[in-house]
Structure 1
Amino acid sequence: MPNTLADWLTYLESLHPKTIALGLERVAQVRQRLNLQPDFPVIMVGGTNGKGSVCAMLESILHAAGYKVGCYTSPHLLRYNERVRIAKQQASDAELCASFEAIERARDDISLTYFEFGTLASMQCFIEHEVDVAILEVGLGGRLDAVNVFDADCAVVTSIDIDHVDYLGDTREQIAFEKAGIFRKGHVAICADSDVPQAIRDHAHEIGAELWCIGGEFGFTPHQGQWDYRGKSAARSALPYPALRGAFQLHNASAVLAALDALKGRLPVSMEAVRRGLVEVQLAGRFQFVPGMPQLILDVAHNPHAARSLAQNLAALPPCPRTFAVFAMLRDKDMAGVVLALDPYIDTWLVAGIDAPRGATSDELAQVLRQCGVRGEVMTFADTAQALRHAYNAAGENDRIAAFGSFYTVAEAMHARELSVI
């Protein structure tokens, strides 16, 4: 068997003929063989965008409340260990290798994908560490995603928009049905999308889940420098804004507080813990500002919905002379949709290729930009590091650089600037 984490990850990538193979039968069989039965509450978080922010805020608040929190997210930016956190600490190489070895012995001839292996490994780590609560981020969709092999005591769907059409469908209703698959009978299901698809309502009703929707059962009111939360049975006033930047973070924070309301019988949380958790939350690559001049903003926005959010956030910033985009995407994403959302806010496009099987080349991306008729200059580079170097050389200290389009783009930018994920 492999010895190091790097060797294990290379091995896992080679095991299954497909990177993505939706379905629960195989992973459920291995889970049963390993007897992975969590006796702690499980919060499951799905949605098109905002999943990472909701997971980070839940983790931060529950940690501030004194709970030992297990948090499983994906993808990672710099190190695989970022995906599995216990008490806000990344799992060690040794812990992950031990979990992978146990899964490898148990699976026998059952084929698992890289993500399925990681999902089972995370839960094994959480059970061994006897966490008080686990937060599981859905990888893709929900109904057939590997995390859904576990039952959610509370399920959150952050937003629903068009993405991953090859797997989830090409309408909001089709995608909503897949995301609603994480709901469970007799448990609270939360939807933070202000335009709730009928499929969400229908599925919750059909299986007997208790649906709480933003603007209905819960909501928020912003004030100058603070905000109020209104829940189904409680309210929290004069809350600090989350440390995460962005226009939609109050939607996300409201969903977090609704989830905590749903589980307050098992996981009571004080106002002090809520305030501390909101102020201390951190999440790399989500409208992240890097100190220095010119200003660098990192954002993993990789679909039109996220790009519109990034555009809204850029529009809310103080004006600057020029904004440079360091831009790279995967070719199976809606590249034109992202470009059109951000075109009004970009003066120069520095386009890079992504060295990955699904990565678009700089020439492919530049062609999309020209077909979209962008107003700014377009330049091509072999990779994100080269594009970012050019941006720093060309930009004045009052200009702005935004690196976005993919987790790969942000990861390469972080490598180039020698940044770390806390």
Structure 2
Amino acid sequence: MGDWQQITGGVTAARGYRAAGITAGLKASGLPDLALILSDVDAIAAGVFTTSHVKAACVDYCRQILQAKHSARAILCNAGQANAATGHQGVKDAQETAELLAKALNIDPNLILLASTGVIGQRIKMDVLRSGIPQVVAALSETGSDAAAGAIITTDLVKKSIALETTIHDASGGLRQRPVRIGGIAKGSGMIHPNMATMLSFVTCDAAVAPTLWQQMLTRAADRSFNSITVDGDTSTNDSLIALANGQSRTPAITEMGAEAEKLEAMLTEVCQYLARAIARDGEGATCLIEVQVTGADDELAARQIAKTIVGSSLVKSAIFGCDPNWGRIAAAAGRAGVPFEQENLQVKLGDFLLLENGQPLPFDKAAASAYLKQAKMGAYLQADTVLISVSVGNGHGTGKAWGCDLSYDYVKINAEYTT
């Protein structure tokens, strides 16, 4: 645990934010489908988006806004239609959405960021959205984070939300400190794979941070969280991580790296990692979370690459689902990660079971190791429902983590029937 404490409130825990989530009628299910997050003042804005060459209109829209200026007031997210691969009309729909919301909020359209999730190839139901925007604006509340978290999900089984608080020295000097808060919500369950995975996440912060520094912090946090999870190897068209920092904590502006910046970035990373783990655990059809920890690599990037390859292996994921402690699949995945290491330095552990050391297989209690997997899947062993795989590849200083889930029969069923 870092130098912070967990608090309630999600994206409205930070000062100067309101949020809302309503049922506008965009989803055929009749479930909530339109979310809004609003800062009381202009906030510094940063974003990390999908690397896919097939991108949703909202992704291109946000990139253009953030390239032109590094500030925003509002984030609007619709669920039900992805508005990806929808051509010129999809672009016009995104632009109209921003203009409609700007008019309802009486702010500049260039202070609005957009996100969409749902079926690729489907435009937003604009007639429904036009009537929904005034409703979601009217519903804005300082306690609206939970409603917003519920309105952005699609195949998710649970809402995903977190808020943390730390303290930063104020401008008067001395020992006086003021609280700073970061909150976040996220959605994601399928089509999850770096870099970015099929997910949406919105983060609010009440610190004052220089735009370039805030973007750098968010990019690093994304690499250590959302870009380190995988469910099924498919990268989405709509992935978006957007973070606002509005300065309403009244703490001194953080303009360069130092002790206070490091503290804030560590808390931002923890918020992102918490949400990333929640997405991985909620993978479609998943029965457990898998965490892979890699040590001994030349650097952090190499270690994360090995970890992501292992946790993304369909064979490893299937073995975990079947409670089969097949360490050979783990070793094979590490070997094909594209990171050179000496085989004789490879070590593999499953939970507390040492399976391979110095590149040599070791005798182990297969029944007990299988029982570890079964108990973890039931949430009854050590780290609740987390299966821990530890891999060492040498004596380097590089360490990294990645998260995923097992691959069950239900994953195929869910995705076979997704649009039918």
Instruction: Give the TM-score band, short-chain normalised.
Output: under 0.3
With normalisation by structure 1, the TM-score equals 0.26
Structure having greater relative contact order (Cα 8 Å, sep ≥ 6):
2
Give the structure with the higher percent strand: 2
Give the structure with the higher percent helix: 1
With normalisation by structure 2, the TM-score equals 0.26
